[in-house]
Amino acid sequence: MRDADLIIIGAGPAGMAAAATAAEGGAQLLLLDEQPRAGGQIYRDVGVNGDTRPFLGKDYAAGRPLVGALDAPGITAEFGATVWRIETGRRVVWSRDGISQVTTAHHVLLAGGAQERPVPFPGWTLPGVMPAGAAQILMKSAGLLPRDAVLAGSGPLLYLIAAQLIDAGAPPRALVETQTAGMMLGASRHLPRTLRAAPTLFKGLALIRKIRAAGVARHTGASGFKAVATENGDIEFGFTAKGRAHRLVTPLLLTHQGVVPATHMSRAAGVAHDWCEAQQSFRPKTDTWGGTDAPGLHIAGDGAGIGGAEAAQAAGRLAALDILHRLDLLGEEARDQKAAADRAALDRALAIRPFLDAAYPPPREFLAPEGDTIVCRCEEITATDIRRSLDEGANGPRQVKTATRAGMGPCQGRMCDLTVRGILAACGTPPSTPRARSPIKPVKLGELAALASYQETST
């Protein structure tokens, strides 16, 4: 006897869309999310914000129906629920308010989404340096607006945040971009395919026009990032662009180099992963329904490869249809028929990716940093420490971890896995996917002990 037909982990666009489709098809499901409210990061708090923050734009407001659709028979949603173990046999162990419990189901759908790619450079651990996406989360969830911020890095999210800040009356002081004219030129060979995603492309161009019209200073081809704290706690941000050294003083330096799949859960669940060169990230191997090599486990959305919110919704629905089929709630033909519209939507949403991946690649200085730049924020391990461990014979991520403690802190490598991989690759030994082990989030010993007695009484 299982507790549910399906457990969906993550209430972002993929998880919410999947939940609605699965419930509509007659499945009893449990939706778990670590955050206090539904929406994921892209639609963070969209259900409670109403129309109070119009500067966040129409694409953000578009998430509201997804949150509304969770109020359906068949869906039990639990928030503040941190999953820390997925067992074969489809047992999910999750914690809330210091109490862990086990839920079983016939199927599990991971919809854990993405995290921002770490952007390591000298000074990136200082108060006053944050990821740009983190600042956007504060705009959505707390109505906080970055004050005289400098946006630095690469990718469309920087344009969106700059435009949102302009609309909110708090324009950024400057936009400092790392991509070069050469990268844009190289990316233009993908434009014919991108024409299918013309609306997305036009949206991006409109954002750039808005930033220009607002008179925000803009630099491109920037490199050599460095941040130091001034006496009054501001950040002095140094970089080089077009052969000239620049210095900007700002209370808040917001960096960004795109997002990457959050793979701790899928790796710990034993799913096979590979390296995606175009997106410079690990990602789980999935079939066209989001199915994996782990029995009963599907993955949908950015956690299976970065595609954005619209792609995530389509992928979530596709996974849900396949799960309904496997639950004998939907015939194969009906599944394929219902899937047609979502497949088309997915193709359309993904059409712009090759262009974006090529136009806004993360520069080598962030992928494989050198010198005193901190790689592991938790344990404060530098690029030099990692490189020295390689010189001393460490031949992969596990030995680097043992030798240096990189990845042994509370974030469990979420902030340094990719950088350690980048340094290993730069030194000639690109490693296989590093392992992740349960518990994939820190759990107190007392909580584990309490779980043992829970299992004894419940079996």
Partner 1 sequence: MKPASRFLTRPDQVGVVHMTLDGEALTARPGDTVAAALLAHSGAASRQSVNGSSRTAFCMMGVCFDCLIEVDGQPNTQGCMTLVRDGMALRRQRGLRDIARSDADA
Give the interface with partner 1 as residue ranges (CB under 8 A).
Answer: 34-36, 41, 48, 52-53, 80, 82, 115-116, 125-128, 130-131, 133-135, 137-138, 141-147, 149, 168, 170, 232-234, 251-252, 262, 377-380, 409-411, 414-415, 442
Q: Which is nearer to partner 1, 149 or 318 (CB)?
A: 149
Nearest to 70 by CA among 33, 102, 34: 33
Residue 191: how many CB atoms within 10 A of its CB? 13
Residues 334/177, Cβ–Cβ less than 8 Å: no
Cα angle 410, 431, 357 (rounded to 5 degrees) comes to 85
Closest separation in Å from C-beta 232 to partner 1: 6
Which phi and psi angles does 342 have, rounded to 5°?
-70, -35
Closest separation in Å from C-beta 61 to partner 1: 15
Closest separation in Å from C-beta 257 to partner 1: 14
Residues 39/11, Cβ–Cβ less than 8 Å: yes
Closest separation in Å from C-beta 406 to partner 1: 13
Q: Which is nearer to partner 1, 37 or 317 (CB)?
A: 37
Closest separation in Å from C-beta 369 to partner 1: 17
Q: Which is nearer to partner 1, 116 or 177 (CB)?
A: 116
Round to whole Å and give the CA distance between 170 and 268.
42
Residues 121/227, Cβ–Cβ less than 8 Å: yes
Q: Is the peptide bond before 439 cis (omega within 30 degrees of 0)?
A: yes
What is the CB-side half-sphere exposure of residue 97 using CA atoms within 13 A?
A: 3
Q: Which residues of 194-228 are buried (b: 16+ CB within 10 A; e: fewer)?
A: beebeebbebbeebeebbeeeebeebbbbeebebe
Q: Which is nearer to partner 1, 135 or 423 (CB)?
A: 135
Residues 133/256, Cβ–Cβ less than 8 Å: yes
Closest separation in Å from C-beta 391 to partner 1: 23
Residues 95/284, Cβ–Cβ less than 8 Å: no
Q: Which is nearer to partner 1, 142 or 452 (CB)?
A: 142
Closest separation in Å from C-beta 142 to partner 1: 4
Q: Which is nearer to partner 1, 102 or 170 (CB)?
A: 170
Closest separation in Å from C-beta 444 to partner 1: 9
